[in-house]
Amino acid sequence: MTWNVVAVSAQQRVIPDHLRGRVNSVDNLVAWGVGPLGALLGGVLGKTLGLRVPIVAGGALVLATVLLLGPLLYREMSRELARGTT
């Protein structure tokens, strides 16, 4: 839920009004389209390698995402705050 609030807030700040509907549609397509693929991959990993593997792999992906995108998000939000557009 927290991610949804952050993502939508960032989109509303960055995306021009005339493109917001298109960007939101693509965002929903990707978000809802990838979920079943992740569930399928998790099921295959659990069946072949054991039930702990999908949990560890999911945690590793979340950690990698935070480590890679966290500094970028922090930098962009710092710029926005410095401009005074909160």
62 or 48, which is more confident: 48
Residue 50 has phi, psi (to 5 degrees) of 110, 160
CB atoms within 10 A of CB 54: 19
Res 72: pLDDT: 87
Residues 57, 45 contacting (CB under 8 angstroms):
yes
pLDDT band at residue 41 under the 50/70/90 scheme: very high
What is the value of pTM for the model shown? 0.58
Res 50: pLDDT: 95
